[in-house]
A and B are shown apart, each in its own frame.
Chain A
Amino acid sequence: MTAPDRPLLRVEDLQVHFPIKRGVFFDRTVGHVRAVDGVSLSIDRGTTYGLVGESGCGKSTLGRAVLRLVEPTAGRVEFDGTDVAALGGETLRRMRRRMQMVFQDPLGSLDPRQDVESLLSEPLRAHGLGGGKAGIAARIRELLDAVGLPAAALRRYPHEFSGGQRQRIGIARAIALEPDLLIADEPVSALDVSVQAQVVNLLEEIQERLGLTYLVIAHDLAVVRHISDVVGVMYLGSLVEQAPSDVLYDEPLHPYTRALMSAVPVPDPVVEERRERILLAGDLPSPADPPSGCRFHTRCPWRQETRCADEAPVLRELAPGHLVSCHWAEEIRDGVLRPRSPEEALHATAPSAEGPRPVEEDDGIFLGRDRPVPRQEQA
């Protein structure tokens, strides 16, 4: 039984913590990497949810936890109304068939010793699908056709293909079992731009044709904007903002989203000259020891003296479908609060009443808004 208006995937307060082991036998747990630390999201049937954020923020771990390739520490993953954690053995296997993954590096995920025919027939055989030799052969031809590879590809091995063609093989393999959900982890980031567009278009075309639901994980915001209906922005294991794609890009509310978007270069010199950049301080803090309060407060140009450092913001709905996790989102949206300038940031006192909290990777110097470059009239 499927209920068409129920989200296909629902993730509730998902946590994945990896133990950090030390000692001669790596037998002492000295802490935990909080790779995913309480994420909730849901994806409607036939839509694409894009997950963005800097490397190390937990995107891949979240995708893997959905597929139960890694066991969640806490929380719930519900696929088509079923709690995935409750499944085991045959039922888990059947559920996995309906959720497939496309990886960044198809070479790493395709067995180099198998030719394309064997790569594509393997999943069919394993699940007893395709209906005999002739059926499987027909299905494979259909798959090749769907991803735009010639029949001659069947006898060739992964290394004989270009990156884009390998990604097509990866996609063919992922859709071989007619899944409902496709999790694509950085599906185009290893590809050249001209080829990226081919694969993006292919993913969109296949989604339309097969009515697939996508979770697309990528660090490239432009790709994600292009492909997604809803976008979630992750920072240090948590979702900081979520909104319909166009809304998020037109009016980002969370300071991190704003900084992220202002940092993405646009291939247009006119736009590049006019834009203001919000430069962030330093690198991502360690997910093993995330900052107190708002996790972004060590780098946030809008950080306030109160609340930011000692009170964790929750994800709130500011407009229909637009969720933000920032204490000051309204004030930032309305322009009441301004990002601090680099000078102010340098001389700002510690925000917390308990005294300054030492932050490993905090630079200090890039904090705040970039000064606009003065323009000179052309003689």
Chain B
Amino acid sequence: MTIESLPPGSSPPGSSPPGSWPDGDAHRTDVPVLEVDDLTVTFTRRGEQATRAVDGISFSVTPGETIGLVGESGCGKSVTSLAVMGLLPRRGVRIGGSVRFDGQELVGADQRRLRALRGADMAMVFQDPLSSLNPVVPIGTQVTEVLLEHRGMSRREAADEATRLLDRVGIPDPTRRLKEYPHQLSGGMRQRALIAMALACSPRLLIADEPTTALDVTIQAQILELLRELVVDSGTALVMITHDLGVVAGLCDRVHVMYAGKIIETADRHELFARPRQPYTGGLLASVPRLDAGRGVPLTPIRGSARDAIPWAEGCAFAPRCDNAQDDCLTEVAGSTVPLEYDGPGRELRCRHPLEHPSVGAGATAAGAAR
């Protein structure tokens, strides 16, 4: 077997430290549950200039695998996930490319089929659970409805199963909680209720869009643990969307870093954190203070903000903030925009002058590499 033909999620010998997650290995196959191919989303609001929020994104997830989509606010993470779930409004939005679930095309599929899939096979958890829970319906009814509709249970069975699910996600006194309305629960509790609904049909794909961003770290730890369990126990394919590199480091097998609507770097998480190649990835890692770094270890910010991105048609969108930028990062010089290319086994990179890592070999730390 050549290195290139290794299944996704496994690492080529010697390239990363041993001990990748065993999570979900029992459920793993090479056959993707979800394949996103050259997805574009353009907002065409009347009277306004069309904006391309997602600009040719491709990725796939296999059962029992967790992939991460990371990037700063506005880079297109949520729009990507909504497009995958078929939750974007039809009006004023143009979707291109392909989203295949189990090989079936979802782009342009009719709403009824999407709705059936969404309930049963694919689920989504949002940052703000309030927005996805019905405020005037008790939690219990919302969970049992999912069970009635998608698992064909009787009312009685569904009620028992709902209690079991709430208990499983760590909601105390589930029988009482089932009768309560979303606003009566704390933020962490609501998020758990939402995850319970997602679990209700053991989805094959779960998209979690910043599920812990609004929560305290101790609650975040509980929720992340739940997600890990879901992946291990049910072999669910998880797409974790977050801006938090720490969450990615602890949860995701493979990571896609996004900037201005495009993927700019893809790598196995060990590779990405030890040897970031895209200056933006390196910049992000050098920007975050680490809990395990001493006081006074300087932070090296990226200059400017995501607002400074230039259109990809004019060159690398990151160029105005990039320390490695040279003339050929712009299209006038290079002829076409910077492509996403093969950059070693399991890696892809969109950059003309990537960061070099002379100290190749295990043990190079991200901080050392990025600074």
Task: State the CA gap A171–B189 with chains docked (Å).
Answer: 36
Instruction: Give the docked Cα–Cα distance between A282 and B219 (Å).
Output: 7
* Interface size band for A: 35 or more
Question: A272 near B: Cβ within 8 Å?
Answer: yes
8 A Cβ contacts from A335-379 to B: 361-366, 370, 373-378
Counting CB contacts under 8 A, is A116 at the interface?
Answer: no
Q: Does A198 contact B (CB under 8 A)?
A: yes
Chain B 277-312 against A: per-residue CB contact (8 Å), 1 yes, 0 no?
000000111111111111101111111011100000
Residues in B whose Cβ lies below 8 Å from that of A374? 22
Residues of A within 8 A of B221 (CB): 262-263, 277, 279-280
Bitwise interface map of B from 115 to 128 toward A, beta carbon under 8 Å scored 1, else 0: 00000000000000
Q: Does A18 have its Cβ within 8 Å of any Cβ on chain B?
A: no
Q: How far, in whole Å, are A54 and B187 apart by their CA atoms in the complex?
A: 13
Could you tell me if B18 and A267 are in contact, using CB atoms closer than 8 angstroms? no
Do the beta carbons of A378 and B291 come within 8 Å of each other?
no
Chain A residues within 8 Å of B17, by CB: 270
A265 to B249, Cβ gap below 8 A?
yes
Determine whether the beta carbon of B301 is less than 8 Å from that of A197.
Answer: yes
Q: Is the CB of B222 within 8 A of A165?
A: no
Cβ of A241 to closest chain B Cβ, rounded Å: 15
Q: A162 to B291, Cβ gap below 8 A?
A: no
Contacts A192-B305, A246-B295, A374-B22 given; indicate if A268 touches B289 (C-beta within 8 A).
no
- Residue A102 at the chain B interface, CB threshold 8 Å: no
Residues of B within 8 A of A195 (CB): 301, 305
List the A residue with the shortest CB-CB distance to B253: A269
Please give the distance in Å from B188's CB to the nearest CB on chain A.
5
Give the interface size class of chain B.
Answer: 35 or more
Q: Is B49 an interface residue (CB 8 A)?
A: no
Specify the chain A residue showing the minimal Cβ separation from B222: A366
| Cβ-based interface call for B342 (8 A) | no
In the complex the two chains form, what is the Cα distance from A226 to B288 in whole Å? 10
**Is there contact, CB below 8 Å, between B170 and A363?**
yes
| Closest B residue to A376 using CB positions | B22
Q: State the Cβ distance, B321 to closest chain A Cβ, in Å.
A: 8
Residues of B within 8 A of A273 (CB): 19, 21, 250
A219 to chain B minimum Cβ distance, whole angstroms, is 7
Instruction: Assess A264 versus B22: contact at CB under 8 Å? Given A193-B72, A197-B301, A222-B291.
Output: no
Q: For A223, A228, A269, A370, which residue has the most chain B Cβ atoms within 10 angstroms? A: A269
A379 to chain B, nearest CB (A): 8
In the complex, the answer to whether B295 meets A228 with C-beta atoms within 8 Å is: yes
Task: Report A-chain residues with C-beta under 8 Å of the C-beta of B273.
Answer: 267-270
Give every chain A residue within 8 A of B222 (Cβ-Cβ).
Answer: 279-280, 366
Interface string of A240-254 (1 = CB under 8 A from B): 000001100100000
**B218 interface residue (CB < 8 Å to A):** yes
Whether A197 touches B287, Cβ cut-off 8 Å, given contacts A269-B269, A373-B21, is yes
Q: Are B217 and A260 interface neighbours, CB within 8 A?
A: yes
Return B264 CB to nearest CB of chain A, in Å: 14
Give CA–CA (A31, B275) in the complex, Å: 56
Residues in A with CB closer than 8 Å to B320 are none
Q: Which of A1-16 contact B (CB under 8 A)?
A: none
Residues of the A chain whose Cβ atoms lie less than 8 Å from the Cβ of B295:
225-226, 228-229, 245-246
Q: Complex Cα distance A270/B18, Å?
A: 10
Within 8 A of A (CB), among B182-209: 186, 188-189
Asked if B247 lies at the interface with its beta carbon under 8 angstroms from chain A, I say: yes
**A283 & B249 in contact (Cβ 8 Å cutoff):** no
Is A219's CB under 8 angstroms from B290's CB? no
Known A-B contacts A197-B299, A267-B285, A273-B19; A282 and B290 likewise in contact (beta carbons under 8 Å): no
Asked whether A221 lies within 8 Å of B291 as measured between CB atoms, the reply is yes
Q: A201-B301, A279-B221 are in contact. Are A226 and B243 (CB under 8 A)?
A: no
Contacts of B218 in A (CB 8 A): 54, 259-260, 263, 279-280
Contacts A162-B305, A375-B19: A266 and B269 contacting too (C-beta < 8 A)?
A: no
Residue A200 CB within 8 A of the other chain: yes
Q: Which residues of the partner chain A approach B270 to less than 8 Å between Cβ atoms? A: 269-270
Tell me, in angstroms, the Cα distance from A277 to B295 when the chains sit together: 23
Given A223-B289, A271-B249, A279-B225: 16 more A-B contacts, CB < 8 Å: A162-B307, A194-B287, A194-B302, A197-B302, A219-B217, A260-B218, A261-B291, A262-B221, A263-B217, A264-B246, A267-B249, A267-B285, A267-B288, A362-B172, A363-B172, A375-B18
Q: Which 4 A-B pairs have the closest CB atoms?
A: A265-B246, A197-B301, A272-B250, A267-B245
Q: List 22 A-B contacts (CB under 8 A).
A: A193-B288, A195-B305, A196-B288, A197-B287, A219-B217, A221-B217, A222-B291, A226-B295, A226-B299, A260-B217, A264-B246, A264-B291, A265-B244, A269-B250, A279-B225, A280-B221, A282-B170, A282-B172, A283-B189, A373-B21, A375-B22, A378-B20
Which A residues fall within an 8 A CB radius of B?
Answer: 54-55, 162-165, 192-198, 200-201, 219, 221-223, 225-226, 228-229, 245-246, 249, 259-273, 277, 279-280, 282-284, 361-366, 370, 373-378
